[in-house]
Structure formats: structure tokens, C-alpha cells
Chain A
Amino acid sequence: MESRLAIGKNVIRVDAHDKAAGRTKYNSDVTDPSLLHCKMIVSQYAHANIKSIDTSEAMTAPGVQRVITGEIAQGILTGTFVEDRPPLAIGKVRYHGEPIAVVIANTELEAKRGAELVKIEYEPLPVLNSPSDSMKPNAFLVHENLANYRKMKECTPQPGTNIANNVRIRKGDMIKGWEESEVIVEEYLYLPQADHIALETRSVKAEIKPDGNIIIHSSTQGPYIIRKKLSRHFNIDTGKITVHTPMVGGAFGGKAAVQLEMIAYLASKAVGGREVILINTREEDMISSPCRIGLEASVKLGATKDGKIKAAQITYLVDCGAYSDMGAVMTKSIASDCTGPYNIENVYCDSLCVYTNHPYVTSFRGFGHSEYTAAIERTIDKLAKALNMDKIQLRLKNIAIPGDTTPTCSTLTKSNIGDLKKCLETLKVKLKWEEGEKVDINKDTVKCKGISCFWKTSSTPPNAASGAIITFSPDGFAHLSIGAVELGQGTKTAMAQILAERLKVDIKRVKVSMEINTSDNPEHWKTVASSTTYMVGNAVIEAADDVICQIKDISAIVLRCSPKDLEVSGGKVFLIDNPEKWIDITEVVHGYKYPNGNSIGGQIIGRGSFIMKHLSGMDENTGRGNPGPLWTVGAQGVEVLFNKKEYSYKIINAVSVIDAGTIINPIVASGVTMGGMSMGLSLASREAFIYDNNGIILNPNLRSYKPIRVDEEPEYIIEFIETPEVDGPFGARGLGEHGLVGMPAALINCLSTAAEKDLNRFPLTPELIWKTK
């Protein structure tokens, strides 16, 4: 392999110094006294008619400018696949925490005081507290009006039920599959909703300028999506909307949703377009803004005696909460990869997006994959037990390899799927599988291991696109303008590395635009799905090639040769066969000036763009289609010390072996992977919304909802297999979410072995293990 300058190097993150100094400005760090402050009033009930909203006292409170309620956006319904959600509740609330009204005042204090004066009279209604409750034949409807909602064509809501989307996979011949199966196992799994807990809560500023231009500042993963949604719902030209996004303090999928932006826009509109700011409190960020899906899964697998899986019948009930939004999209993504990375010829899967009276959901790191993977992998472990077969062996026997097809009948190739066999074999070594799955340590303690495989494709829309623009400073620094948001995942650094590599310059001479301005930076679909490196990276390469081409064209004139004779490297352009003859790129990037003053060329501006190719929607009846350009695969494991007396445990080791293609920045890649693993273990072991019988969330703050802290962390072992993806920038695949995906599955498998119980619920608290029969 050619030696590389920047790719594969532990480059220090381009945003690190400012962050360490506390100088990085996040969205809510920039305010000024002229801003008006918004405070939401949110529902105290999970389901209720709003009998009245009395804003009279609030309206006359000091500093209050306006109080807005749902009426202000009468008739506007928003959503992604199904448009079912009013920006502010009208007539009815459908989840605990749903925004109902907003007080707009001169200061934060006055807004909050005003909000305390808004009186809402509710008429409580019964609640649907789980997807299976919502599926009961006599269940009431969360949305009576489902038939009349606008919807995208790829979505199939079922009016008269609580099903917002119904995605079917019908692959192969189930009758044959069951006939060939000698052993059949079934599993049910329940996973409650949870929350992203990005440390920065969501915030927005909105302003409508006198000339009709709209300026939004948002802590978001999707600045360009905000532009589209505002345009769609409020009938504004996208060209008049500019969204600014600075550094984002963690997102994990949660900031891909467009919610507060619409509320802030309405608030600004209500006060004559003045700039308003709306910042979620932690409590609001957890329950009013969207959270992670819940899932109820039933999986039935059939296999031959020697362990070849022949049939899979699966039902996934996605708890999307009260509004379908990204829940309906994830339902589809779950269906498309529904079996996990196994080659199963006969698959029957119903993936249903089900309304409940829970907070509504949005994408979460893994986009539904960590949730269903837990169900599949739990069942595979059960199958191994039934077959009396080694768990790694059983998986090896069934993993998907080039030539196989996915549940949507996409054909896997050497390039579009990574090497799972190698991942599993490496996991086996790293996890010291040979030591035994379960070893007694002393009277009360056993040491146990558990594993999981996973795969994930990006589930992007078939026309998702990105762009990149390169300009130069007079002294030859390359300035890269992209639309990808920095959320902590190291995107800006990775893009700088890709550009430095392609231009063959020191990374210090590459500057990436840190903040996004949708009017200036070329559009990037959204910064999600671990697809940013792949998409934006490809655009950057194209832009770099464009720049190189332009530099060569001008230099060829100056050096009196053909552009073909030239090479650009180290900030110089030189003749390939006579490197003594060169000019500095600074002489050409802003036009070349001859000694007599004549000039040629002008500024060099590189452009690159990328659009997904060959992706297609899924067939309504069979699910056939091509959901993503590539599959990242991996194998993960955990090792746990389990106390049989107390049912408590300590996770001691966690291992990930992931085929992420070429690794752009190893230290960042393993940091992000470790973060994902840590989040996966945290979700699996402790995180969940706890609802009471009335659908009220009992733990909407960090005193009672507890993400993992340093003392609970295991040792992390992370290995990358680097099977290059031919279409990826320098062979990179997606990486970012994947550390999380198999972790909950590995942990539930491990603890099931340790406790000798069939665990099938999350989170895996000692009480849950104790209680499970």
C-alpha cells in the first residue's frame, strides 16, 4: 500500500484545543439581551383532552410579549413518513411532556414566571402504555384521523388501528423453511423507551427578518432538513431560510428531529419576527423532545440439526410513542436488516410502527438496530442451546457472506459487506472464548461471557446527497466547506484528513468550516447514519480532484507542459519526470501573475458532490429493495462477574471487532466506538423510561435516570478489521453508531447464561434478574 500522509494517522482533532479551553461556542452560548425568551408549557398527562387554556394572567405578567398555543398553527401537521403531529398540541395531548403553549417574554425569568401562570384544564383519558396494548382489537385509537393524514408513498399506515407503518418482508418460502427445520425456538423480548441524553440539551433561535428571510440557529444534526421542513409546513421558499449550526454537544440521533425549530419559528412570527430563543431544560429534553424507540419483539427461528437456520418469522412492534415521525422510518430500517447478519433463505417479518401514549421517538444511534439485534441474538443463543452447539460455531455457520442476499433480497458483494467471519474469529480470541462461557470464581461468583453479531446499513433515502467546496487562502491553506455537523464524532477532522491526503499536504494547512450555514455550505443530507464519512468524504475527494485538475491546468501553461506531466504534492506543482522544475501552489491558487503583470487563471474553487447510487425503496408486499450502499458488520462480546447471591454484576470486559473498512483516524475511531459500546452497556444495564399506569414518566431527570459513570466502566478491547469498501473514501465504511449495536444483545446473552435464566427484558437490573423466573 502506498504510504499515507494523513489517512490512518492519529491526528489530533481539529476542534480539541478550543473545546479544552472552554472557548467553543455551542448554540445556547451565544445570546444577546435583545433576544426574547420562550418557555414551553408541557402536558402533565399522557392522554387528555385539553378543556381550556387560560393565558390571561400570563399575558399581563411583566415582560411577557405573547403566549401562543396550538391554535396558532391550526391545520399544520408535521412528521416524516406520516404527518400526524401538530407543533403544539391542539384539543388533545397524547403524551406526558407534549408541548402545549409557549410564553414569549423579555427575559428567561419573565418567560418562566409567565409559564407558571398559564392554567390548563385537562380531562384525563385512558392511556395505551405499551405497543401490545395498542395492538389489542378493542384498543382505542391514538389517532382517529389517521386515514386523513398526509403520508409519504413508502409508508403504509393502517387507518382504524394504531399502526402508523407496516413493513413486510416476505423472502423465500416459509412452508419449505419450516419443513426443513428440525429444531424450532421462539423468543419474546421487551425493550422500553430510553433517551439520548446528549449533554447539550436542544436549543433553537429563530428570527423572521423584515425582508421575509428566516434565520434559524439550531443545535441539530439536520440543518438542511430544518430548511426543508419549515419550507414545507409554513410555505416558505427554502431559499429564504438560513439555518446556522455551530458545534453540537452530542446528538446520538436525537438532534435529527425537527421540533423546537417549528415552535421557535411560530413564536418569532407571533412577536413580529423578533429573534427568540428556546432552550430545553433537561426534563424537557428527555420527555418533550423525542426519545429512543421501545420494542416488543417475537422471533421464531427454525434450523436443521447441524445448525443451518432455515426459517425466521419475526414480529417487531416499535413503540413510536404518540407520533410516528422517525419511528415509522426506523420500522422500515429494522425490517430491511431484520434477521441480523445471517443468511436466511426464508424470512417472514412484520415490522410495525405502533402508536402509544408515550413520548414520540426519533433516530437513536444504531437506528433501530441495537434494539432488534437484542431479540435476534437472544434467539440465536437459545437456538445454540437447543442444538447443543457452540454459540460462535452456530453463528459462523450462518453468517451472511458475499453472494448471499439480505432480507430485502439485496445481493451482498465482497465490497458492500465486511468480513464477519474474521470479526467473529478475532472476537473469539480477544474474548478468550476458549476459557469457557461460564467459570466459577467462588461460592457466589461466576465469570461469564456473552456475544452478539450485528450488521447495519445506512437506510438513507435513495437520493441522499452531499457536497464540498474548496477555496484557498492567499498563502495556500485549503479551506473546506462542507455541510456535515460536528457532533463529537470527529467528522471535521476526518474530512481534513481526507483532503490533506488527496492534496498531499500537511493537515495543518487544511481548514474545515466548523459551523454550518445552510446558505453558504453545500448541502449534506443530514449528519446521521454513520454515513457522513462515506458521503461527504466522497464529495471532498471529488472537490480535491477538481482543485488538482485546475491547479495543473494553470501550472501547465506556466511550466509549458501538458497537465498530464504534472503532479501536485506538498504545496507544490512539479513535473513528474523532472521534479526540480516546480512552482508553489500559492502562485496559482489565486491566479498566476507573470512578471509583467499579466495574469491568468483566477481563484481556484474546487467543487465536489456525491449522491447515493442504486438505492431503491422497498416493495410494499415483499420488502424487496436496496436500502443502503454497504453493510458494516461486527462481532461483540462482554465478560461479566455475576453474583449469584445478590443477582448483581460487574461488567469487566467489553470487546468489539468491527469491519469498518479503512480507518481514517484510529484514535478517534476507537474513542467513538468505545463511546458507543459504553452507551450500549449503559442502555442495556440501567436506562429506561419508567412509566406509571397513567403513562407518566417517573424518571425524567438525571437524578433518577442514570447514564453510566466512570466507576462502572469495563475494560474495552477494540479491534478493526479493515476490508476496504471500493466506493468509500480511501476504502472507509460507516463507523460511529456501530460500537453500540451489539452491546445490549451481548449483555443480555451473557447474563442469561450467568443467571441460568431466560432474560427477555431491559434494562438488566439486579432486581429484574432476581424477579425473572
Chain B
Amino acid sequence: MIEFHDKSIIELYVNGDLKTVAARPADTLLFILRESLGLTGTKNSCGNGDCNSCTVLLDGWPVKSCLMLAVEAVGHEITTIEGLQDVPMQKAFVEKSAIQCGYCTPGMIINSHALTTIYPDASDEIIEEWLESNICRCTGYKEICEAVKSVINM
């Protein structure tokens, strides 16, 4: 049984590295990533599970880091936007002009990257189902969908 009491040192496997940080069991993964590990690519926008700006991958699956405790991630592999280095999805977002203010972008790219990794042949329906999770206030989502489709058709 894993247990943590009070503020304790936890080990998180982030972007391929084992990181040691002090965390309260009540700290969200989002808070620890940003404030303790300096991984500020992961964004906080609603802090309540509603917008997906804070999406990271847990063992390859997108999760909302604002609704997850950091201690929950112990023993799992975490991937943040900083862990993706020039993957096709990032290039596609740049080329398709799917970025405006960029605040939703890390969450969008992380989610879309997971989607195309898990479903390399995703149908339009599945793409929409996945992207429904993310709010973008700047675009009309079209360029984002195009970027995702361009990676699927690669």
C-alpha cells in the first residue's frame, strides 16, 4: 500500500525523468508540475475540470491535472507538453495556424497527440469526441481539427 501523510517527498516520473518533489497529498498534479517542477507549459484556466487547458498524459492517456492529486500520479508515467519534442502534432498546429493566443494550445496538443497515438486512423467522429474536451476561446476550432486530421492522414 502506498501512503502519504502530511507534506512528503514523492517521486514523479515526468517526461522520462524521475523527479523528486515535496508535495502535500492535497496538492493537485497541476500545482506540483507548475510550481514545484517549473513545467509551466501545462496551463491552469478553470481549475475545475471544465476546459482541459491542464491536460497531461498519464500512462499515455489524457487526464486533467487540475482534478488529479500529485500523489495519485506516483507510479505512473506523466507526459507534459514539454515532453513532446517536435512531434508531428506540434508541427501541424504551427503549419495549420491552429494557434492564436496559445493558452489552450498545450492542452490541445497533448490531447490530440494522445488521440493520434492511440487511434492512428481516428475517424472524424472520434476526433470530435476527443476535442470536445478542450475549450479554445480564440479560434473557431477549424484549424485545430485540420491540424489533427493532417497528422492522421500522414
Contact = CB atoms under 8 A, between A and B. Distances in A.
Q: Do A and B touch each other in the complex, judged by CB within 8 A? A: yes
Interface of A: 10, 12-13, 15-17, 19-26, 28-31, 108-109, 196-201, 247-252, 281-282, 487-490, 667-668, 671-672, 674-675, 677-679, 701-703, 707, 709-711, 713, 716
Given A20-B99, A22-B41, A489-B100, 11 more contacts: A12-B94, A21-B85, A199-B43, A247-B102, A282-B46, A487-B101, A675-B138, A677-B140, A678-B141, A709-B132, A710-B145
Nearest to A33: B35
B101 A709 contact: no
Nearest to A704: B50
A736 to B, nearest CB: 11
A239 B66 CA distance: 41
A199 B47 contact: no
Interface string B132-145: 10111111111111
List 10 tightest A-B contacts by C-beta distance, closest first. A22-B41, A488-B101, A249-B103, A22-B81, A19-B102, A488-B100, A702-B50, A678-B140, A29-B40, A674-B140
30 contacts: A16-B99, A20-B90, A21-B82, A22-B42, A22-B84, A22-B105, A26-B40, A198-B103, A199-B53, A199-B101, A200-B43, A247-B102, A249-B43, A249-B103, A250-B103, A250-B138, A282-B48, A487-B101, A671-B97, A674-B142, A678-B141, A702-B46, A702-B51, A703-B49, A709-B135, A710-B128, A711-B128, A711-B132, A716-B140, A716-B142
Nearest to B144: A710
Contacts of B139: 671, 674-675, 678
B142 A703 contact: no
Given A16-B99, A677-B140, A678-B141, A199 B131 contact: no
A196 B100 CA distance: 16
B54 to A, nearest CB: 11
Contacts of B45: 199-201, 282
B121 interface: no
Contacts of A709: 132, 134-135, 141
A702 B135 contact: yes
B17 to A, nearest CB: 16
Contacts of A201: 45
Contacts of A19: 99, 102, 105
A710 B141 contact: yes
Nearest to A30: B40
B137 A198 contact: yes
B52 to A, nearest CB: 10
A16 B47 CA distance: 25
A173 to B, nearest CB: 45
Contacts of A703: 48-50
A530 B105 CA distance: 23
Interface residues of B, number: 52
B137 A250 contact: yes
A668 B97 contact: yes
A248 B102 CA distance: 9
Given A488-B138, A710-B128, A199 B104 contact: yes
Contact of B102 (A24, A679, A711): A24
B102 A25 contact: no
B101 A200 contact: yes
Nearest to B133: A709
Nearest to A31: B35
Contacts of A30: 40
B80 interface: yes
Contacts of A250: 100-101, 103, 137-138
A703 B95 CA distance: 32
Contacts of A196: 137
A15 B42 CA distance: 17
B141 A20 contact: no
A10 B109 CA distance: 22
A199 B103 contact: yes
Nearest to B50: A702
B32 to A, nearest CB: 12
A672 B100 contact: yes
A198 B101 contact: yes
B62 interface: no
A707 B138 CA distance: 11
Nearest to B31: A108
Contacts of B53: 199
Contacts of B131: 710
A714 to B, nearest CB: 9
Contacts of A677: 140
A17 B145 CA distance: 18
